[in-house]
Structure 1
Amino acid sequence: MTTQPALSPSPTPSGVDALASTDSPSSTDAPSSTDAAAARSRELAASIAQDPTRHRMLTGDRPTGDLHIGHYLSSLRSRVALQDAGVDSFVLIADYQVITDRDSVGRLQDHTFSLLADYLAAGVDPRRSTIFTHSAVPALNQLMLPFLSLVTQAELLRNPTVKDELAASRRPLSGLLLTYPVHQAADILFCQADVVPVGRDQLPHLEQTRVIARRFNARYADGAALFPEPSALLNDQQLILGTDGRKMSKTRGNVIRLAATEYETAALLRKARTDSESTITYEPERRPEVANLLTIAAGFTGETPEALAAAVGSGGGALKALVIEAVNEGLRAHRERRRELVADRAQLVEILHEGNARANAVAEATLAEVRRAMSMDY
């Protein structure tokens, strides 16, 4: 099924066949571009509310380790809500992208099935959502070849992920990481998704996808919208910090895994950073660590951070006790369901096989359309 984009495609700039700079994503950090993305997001949200069945979502994660409460609060629950509303949902386990920045796949199979178990425990329904892996969908990956012809090396090097890796890494930039934005475009466009839930930091990636869709339509499809230009569905959930006050990251060991026991969760939260003031207040700018704990508790209880701060009154220990109870109680059903799923690997394998089969059918149909548009349907 091909869904229609929530917004009309942007006008095709002149000179698109020469990869003209007028539609380059290089300016996506500009306020005007961010504002435009925010406006599209609002329009998309309104369209979904009116008729969710008109839309298709692509979302997913790299299987590099267990998911944590940051994932749960910022993305998992919103994905399930969109699925339950009736949005056609594709959920990608991006196994090929594990090797963009590392030399070994590590415990890839374990991480893949751990990710799948968390998806299912959170409420992703394999009867309504297509859950699949990169490596099992060859036609998706083949789309990278024509898409690579639509971008320049300079554009790829301007991508924030690539720039950050070049600046921070001591290792050579791999070809897979350099072309990561194009692979991501293939992820989104293979199923002709028009909804991509992301944070604002991911807007440059999505803008590259929009550019690729626009250029393909202009160059090979005579201007017809073979590919929709997807829109970001912006997630304004406040960033969840790790227990050390820095960004929550699996590699830093400062996360609370969804798979953690109640005891492990309590031990980690008792070590979480606060500050020297005894009165508990919600002031994200001035007291980020305290605000972070209140935000976590609010995410699991449904109360506002301000109300929780007033309920605690004073004392870092009392605040942490509140957060421990909120997290453990909020994840109790998820963890119980997760344990059942992990214990039945055969069921997980079957679910993934079924999702991969559905994704393959969609990808092969899209590739056939692409080959026809490019006069390669021999």
Structure 2
Amino acid sequence: MSDPEVLSANAEGTLRASQARSDAIEKDLIVNPGRYRMLTGDRPTGKLHIGHYFGSLANRVRLQNLGLDTWVLIADYQVIYDRDGVGEIRDNVLSEVADYLASGIDPAQSTIFAHSQIPALNQLLLPFLSLVTDSELRRNPTVKDELANSGRPMSGLMLTFPVHQAADILFCKANLVPVGKDQLPHIEVARLIARRFDERYGRADATTPVFPQADALLSAAPHILGLDGTKMSKSRQNVIEIGMSADETAKLVKKAKTDSERHITYDPVSRPEVSNLVMLVSLVTGRNPQDIAEEIGDGGSGTLKKMVTESLNEYFAPIRARRADLLASPDHLWQVLRDGCEKANEVADQTLLEVRAAMQMEYWGHDHH
């Protein structure tokens, strides 16, 4: 087999193994939620949209409510790696906290924190960077994409992005990270760094490694397209934001792309745009997409769009009302973030002490910092 073939066969094998592990964990979660610390997060590049909601937020809330120890990262340092200016970062962070709480993330059960406020997390980058090679970093799909598509020189921060993600996972010793299949390579980097750290430094009482091996929880979330039938992304202006008004939602759905066939069917392969709209109704109503398509039938795209608008607006109305209330008192939102960062700092400081001890860089006891 040639190199690319070996790689893709390996990827296939890794994916199968990861899926099997993920399925086993999903069953165990219900019985032993206390075994898991889950880490997940978003970059604050703007307001979160319904793709984020169905892709990850709803699942986080589900896992939190099962009783998992939930950590949610606002990855503000990962906004600066590929932009000259970071835009309205403070507003975006505030808006993200509001989106989280409105969607059901509960600060009493979940720790919400931001990269830039956790010095010890970022300090882990230095020892971790010594454990990976330049070519390993460049093989990472996110880094490869950036190199191929951004049309600008790769920043050092972008190149080391996979290691930063590993630090996010390892600083709090998370053992579970919900991801889509495309993000499996990031989890692999975190596992590799944990293993290499142990091999190189280990502990004197080497019964337990410093860092656990995190597992991926592969989400079964459907892939939602933007309203123009391409990838949902803010830069393409094809998204419905969680916080949009009912009227804004209606206007956007009206403009959504469909096809020329009047009769509505659910066929994601040959009719992606129409099927995407049917899927949205299915997600908010819990009904089977085939049944929805059959019910509309010759009603055509007009009837379909009306149904999408009504069902989305009904589903998001309470979330939008909570979001507006929360944004009306930003002090509370900042306090939630502050409390989360305080807790994250305690954990990060403790982990850094253990890392220093393992590396024999503890030059005086714990009492002098």
TM-score tier after normalising by the smaller chain length: over 0.9
Choose which of 214, 218, 234 in structure 2 pairs with 1:250: 234
**Structure-1 separation of matches of 2:28 and 2:127:** 31
Aligned to 2:279: 295
1:363 to 2:348 alignment: yes
1:338 to 2:323 alignment: yes
Aligned to 1:202: 183
Q: CA deviation at 1:301?
A: 0.7
Choose which of 353, 358, 362 in structure 2 pairs with 1:373: 358
Aligned partners of 1:95 and 1:133 also within 8 Å: yes
**Structure-1 separation of matches of 2:129 and 2:337:** 29
Scaled by the length of structure 1, the TM-score of the pair is 0.92
Residue type of the alignment partner of 2:337? L
Aligned to 1:86: 67
Scaled by the length of structure 2, the TM-score of the pair is 0.94
Choose which of 279, 283, 289 in structure 1 pairs with 2:263: 279
**Structure-2 separation of matches of 1:45 and 1:367:** 31
What is the percent sequence identity of the aligned residues? 56
Q: CA deviation at 1:190?
A: 0.5
**Structure-2 separation of matches of 1:238 and 1:81:** 16
* Equivalent pairs, count: 353
Cα RMSD between the aligned structures? 1.2
Choose which of 95, 104, 122 in structure 2 pairs with 1:123: 104
Q: CA deviation at 1:225?
A: 2.1
Give 1:156-175 correspondences, 5 Å limit: 156-175=137-156
1:323 to 2:304 alignment: no
**Structure-2 separation of matches of 1:40 and 1:376:** 36
Residue type of the alignment partner of 2:329? D
Aligned partners of 1:29 and 1:204 also within 8 Å: no
Residue type of the alignment partner of 1:158? R
Choose which of 267, 281, 288 in structure 2 pairs with 1:304: 288
**Structure-1 separation of matches of 2:46 and 2:114:** 15
Residue 167 of structure 1 aligns to a residue whose secondary structure is: helix
Q: CA deviation at 1:29?
A: 6.4
**Structure-2 separation of matches of 1:89 and 1:28:** 34
Give 1:89-168 correspondences, 5 Å limit: 89-168=70-149
1:266 to 2:250 alignment: yes
Distance 1:27 1:357, change over 3 A: farther
What residue ranges of structure 1 are gaps of 5+ in the alignment? 1-25
Q: CA deviation at 1:279?
A: 1.1
Q: CA deviation at 1:171?
A: 1.1
Give CA deviations for 1:134-168 in whole Å, capped at 9, x if unaligned. Answer: 00000000001110011000000111111111111
Residue type of the alignment partner of 2:177? V
Q: CA deviation at 1:27?
A: 6.6
Residue 156 of structure 1 aligns to a residue whose secondary structure is: helix
Aligned partners of 1:27 and 1:33 also within 8 Å: no
Residue type of the alignment partner of 1:135? S
Residue type of the alignment partner of 2:333? L
Aligned to 1:350: 335
Give CA deviations for 1:297-323 in whole Å, capped at 9, x if unaligned. Answer: 111111111111122122100000000
Residue type of the alignment partner of 1:210? R
Aligned to 1:219: 200
**Structure-1 separation of matches of 2:31 and 2:359:** 36
Residue type of the alignment partner of 1:325? E
Residue 313 of structure 1 aligns to a residue whose secondary structure is: helix
Residue type of the alignment partner of 1:278? R
Aligned partners of 1:28 and 1:204 also within 8 Å: no
**Structure-2 separation of matches of 1:210 and 1:103:** 32
Residue 298 of structure 1 aligns to a residue whose secondary structure is: helix
Aligned partners of 1:28 and 1:203 also within 8 Å: no
Q: CA deviation at 1:48?
A: 1.0
